[in-house]
Amino acid sequence: MRLAAIDIGSNAARLLISDASFNNGKTEFNKINLVRVPLRLGFDVFEKKKISPEKTDMILHTIKAYKHLLDAYEVKYLKAAATSAMRDAENAAEIIGEVERETGIRIEIISGGDEASLIYENHVAEKLDKDHSYLYIDVGGGSTELTFFAEGKLVFKESFNIGTIRLLKGQVTDGQWENMKEYIKRETRAHTNDIIAIGSGGNINKIFSLSKRKEGKPLTLDMLKDYYKEFSNFSLEDRMQLYKLREDRADVIVPALQIYINTMRWANALEIYVPKIGLADGLIQHLYEDLKRKGLVTA
């Protein structure tokens, strides 16, 4: 069964197309295509509270292009969601209505809590050993979603309006950092032994790629600190040239590292696994489960 998800974030929009199949008693999701467009909606919204006409046109062109791909791949079922930037945009409803009229694709604006839940839908921690607790950290342009998994159970899920673009725009206060710190310390206090982080988002994926670590091997907190110091010493242009980064990655990678480092420090997590999961993966798995409940798939 061919499924697709559209994730409209604060920094980029992604279309993920996957095949779902049932083998040896479990469902497998095989990625067919992933397309990313750097819409950068957060640069409008977090400063002006609205999405500009230029960005609105970019959204429409992007979703129309995605629609052509969906038709070409003969995708029957789709789930589309928007996150932090759309949550904050005063004209979000108007834009979503225009997208649906033009393309037939309905975009759902999801809450921070729903976003955290959808990241957790990947259930990566369930495949790891039960002797540790696991903290999912998903860093986006507008928010960071945390989900904590211990003793085989979901302990908490929380969203914080601390994201890479908000940090670049100087819109994260000391009070917001302190609230996040206190929350993490308080909620993980009973599980401080052997907490391991699980990172998602384009920035941590890029760090993992640059590290040349083997798949399945974690990055350490010290490695992230080293990368943070290293990248901070270079200009945006130098980062782009030295590390072969696109501009829309080179500017957000430093604040992203700041968020991962702080979160891991406050949770006393010394390692972070990077399984290359994201909201789009969670959306597809959620869509599949929803289709099962409706009797549209038998497995």
- Output the pLDDT for position 163: 97
- pLDDT band of 41, cuts 50, 70, 90: very high
Is 83 in contact with 110 (CB distance < 8 Å)? Answer: yes
Domain(s) labelled CATH 3.30.420.40 in the chain stretch across 2-111+280-293
Domain 123-277: which CATH number of 3.40.50.300, 1.20.140.10, 3.30.420.150, 3.90.1150.10: 3.30.420.150
Return the structure tokens found at 226.
Answer: 């080293």
DSSP designation for 39: -
| Residue 196 phi, psi (nearest 5) | -115, 135
- Is residue 31 within a helix (H) or strand (E), and if so which, with residue range? strand 26-37
| Residue 254 phi, psi (nearest 5) | -70, -50
Burial of 130 (0-12, 13-18, 19+ CB in 10 A): exposed
211-269: pLDDT as tens digits: 999 988 999 999 999 999 999 999 999 999 999 999 999 999 999 999 999 999 999 99
- Output the pLDDT for position 127: 60
79-133: pLDDT as tens digits: 999 999 999 999 999 999 999 999 999 999 999 888 888 876 655 555 666 678 9
Domain(s) labelled CATH 3.30.420.150 in the chain stretch across 123-277
pTM for the structure as a whole: 0.89
Which is the CATH superfamily of the domain at 2-111+280-293?
Answer: ATPase, nucleotide binding domain (3.30.420.40)
